[in-house]
């Protein structure tokens, strides 16, 4: 008898017919405890492969695309702040998935052979990474913020840089290091960071052309990668060009309102996102002097901003810091300034409490801006000033006064 499918919809199959139509169920030998453990490990690796919205965002964790050439993250984008080594995590995830498949009777798998399954092997430290430095978390205070910001903003407003002309490029060189991985399979979590290394960025004033050189970063190569804008992204606070920055208000109250309005719903709350947005602009841009001063004064109006008496950038230079702690994960981002000149030196992100295996005092990332300039071509560097010792074992250009300071 031929049955039409629509007629069988209300006519349930009996057990005998079901047994004839369906294959027999498997007989997995995996215990519930073992399966639970593997499942938990797999989810941990997936979480580690997904950057969170922590404030130590790596410049290289910004959204990117591919347009003809390999395309790197553009400077000062977004706020994804925990870069990971995808290769290591992906290998572990694939191993875990393959292990579960074998345990459930896959061909040639351990369950089929009746043998025991070895637990996943903990990942080795990422290649080129070193244990993250740990420092004493200095106490911050709201007292003194206003006075310090007045000095910092005054120095920024007095900075002198030539106006970039058509065909010229804005150049920023930094020493950088960011957290790359942490592994807790054995219950003994340890944080790793990149070795401190140079990073150079060239950007045209209109944002249409750019280049990034970060040869120690996986996937970039010694010749660097393009930052050319395909034209599909309108300039904004999260994707600024120099020409766009010149259109922003410099009054701190008006500027701060614009930042809150344009970043509404992003990050870990409006106050933290406003602070992070300003920090992104300071880290890897050449700012018009009056705008730099306005940004510092706007930051002082954000609730939770404090003054830290001593911090150190990636080149080992000490200074005072304007800082704010992200209450979501306890990471405090510190903008560091020279005590005498109030020049912007760099940034440091310090963990203020134990969270997700990262111990309090761990330096999750730090940078040191060593040069800002206007040059005539991509890959052209300004005349090298005196080297700064201590920047990851490599000489680096000294910080020059600029509109970003």
Residue 305 has φ and ψ, to the nearest 5°, of -75, 135
Residues 6+ apart with CB under 8 A from 403: 156, 159, 161, 286, 287, 288, 289, 291, 292, 372
What does the DSSP assignment read for 272-318?
HHHHHHHHHHHHT----HHHHHHHHHHHTTSTT-EEEEEEE-TT--E
d(CA 151, CA 160): 16
In the predicted model, what is the mean pLDDT of residues 114-130?
Answer: 61
DSSP state of 61: G
* Residue 195: per-residue pLDDT: 92
At residue 65 the predicted structure's pLDDT band, cuts being 50, 70 and 90, is very low
- For residue 73, the surrounding DSSP H or E stretch is none
Residue with tokens 């404090």: 306
Q: Is the dihedral of CA 302, 351, 53, 77 positive or negative?
A: positive
* Residue 42: per-residue pLDDT: 53
* Residue 268: per-residue pLDDT: 86
* Residue 186: per-residue pLDDT: 59
Q: Where are the beta strands (DSSP E) in 70-168?
A: 129-131, 140-141
At residue 136 the predicted structure's pLDDT band, cuts being 50, 70 and 90, is very high
Q: Is the pLDDT of residue 244 over 50?
A: yes
* Residue 249: per-residue pLDDT: 97
The two structure tokens encoding residue 207: 């944002």
DSSP state of 143: T
Cβ density class 148-166: b for 16+ within 10 Å, e for less:
bbeebbebbbebebeebee
* Residue 222: per-residue pLDDT: 84
Residues 6+ apart with CB under 8 A from 220: 70, 72, 212, 213, 214
Q: How far apart are the first and last CA of the chain?
A: 85
At residue 306 the predicted structure's pLDDT band, cuts being 50, 70 and 90, is very high
* Residue 398: per-residue pLDDT: 37
**8 Å CB contact between 302 and 261:** no
User: How wide is the angle at C-alpha 99 spanned by C-alphas 96 and 100, nearest 5°?
Assistant: 90
* Residue 212: per-residue pLDDT: 96
3-state secondary structure (DSSP) of residue 343: coil
In the predicted model, what is the mean pLDDT of residues 377-385?
Answer: 85
Q: Is the pLDDT of residue 114 over 70?
A: no
* Residue 187: per-residue pLDDT: 59
In the predicted model, what is the mean pLDDT of residues 230-240?
Answer: 83
In the predicted model, what is the mean pLDDT of residues 178-202?
Answer: 80
Stated pTM of the model: 0.67
**8 Å CB contact between 347 and 314:** no
């Amino acid at each position: 008898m031929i049955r039409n499918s629509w007629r069988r919809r209300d006519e349930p199959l009996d057990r005998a017919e079901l047994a004839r139509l369906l294959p027999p169920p498997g007989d997995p030998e995996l215990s519930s405890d073992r399966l639970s453990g593997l499942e938990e490990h797999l989810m941990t690796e997936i979480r580690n492969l997904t950057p969170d919205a922590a404030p130590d965002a790596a410049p290289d964790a910004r959204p990117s695309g591919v347009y003809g050439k390999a395309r790197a993250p553009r400077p000062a984008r977004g706020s994804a702040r925990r870069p990971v080594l995808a290769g290591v995590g992906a290998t572990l995830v694939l191993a875990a998935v393959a292990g579960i498949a074998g345990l459930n009777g896959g061909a040639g798998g351990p369950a089929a052979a009746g043998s025991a399954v070895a637990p996943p092997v903990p990942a080795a430290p990422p290649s080129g990474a070193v244990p993250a430095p740990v420092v004493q978390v200095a106490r911050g205070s709201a007292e003194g913020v206003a006075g310090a910001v007045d000095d910092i903003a005054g120095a920024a407003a007095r900075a002198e840089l030539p106006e970039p002309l058509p065909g010229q490029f804005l150049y920023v060189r930094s020493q950088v290091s960011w957290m790359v991985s942490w592994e807790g399979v054995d219950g003994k979590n340890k944080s790793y960071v990149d070795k401190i290394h140079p990073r150079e960025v060239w950007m045209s004033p209109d944002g249409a052309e750019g280049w990034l050189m970060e040869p120690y970063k996986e996937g970039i190569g010694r010749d660097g990668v393009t930052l050319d804008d395909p034209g599909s992204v309108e300039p904004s606070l999260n994707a600024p060009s120099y020409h766009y920055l010149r259109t922003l208000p410099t009054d701190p109250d008006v500027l701060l309102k614009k930042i809150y309005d344009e970043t509404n719903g992003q990050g870990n709350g409006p106050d933290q996102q406003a602070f992070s947005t300003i920090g992104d602009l300071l880290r890897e841009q050449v700012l018009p002097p009056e705008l730099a001063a306005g940004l510092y004064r706007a930051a002082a109006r954000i609730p939770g901003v404090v003054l830290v008496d001593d911090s150190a950038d990636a080149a080992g230079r000490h200074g005072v810091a304007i800082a704010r702690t992200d209450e979501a994960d306890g990471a405090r981002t510190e903008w560091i300034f020279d005590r005498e000149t109030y020049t912007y030196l760099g940034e440091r992100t310090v963990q203020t409490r134990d969270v997700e295996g990262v111990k309090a005092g761990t330096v999750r990332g730090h940078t040191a801006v060593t040069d800002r300039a206007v040059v005539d071509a991509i890959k052209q560097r300004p005349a090298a000033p005196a080297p700064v010792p201590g920047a990851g074992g490599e000489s680096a250009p000294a910080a020059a006064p600029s509109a970003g300071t």
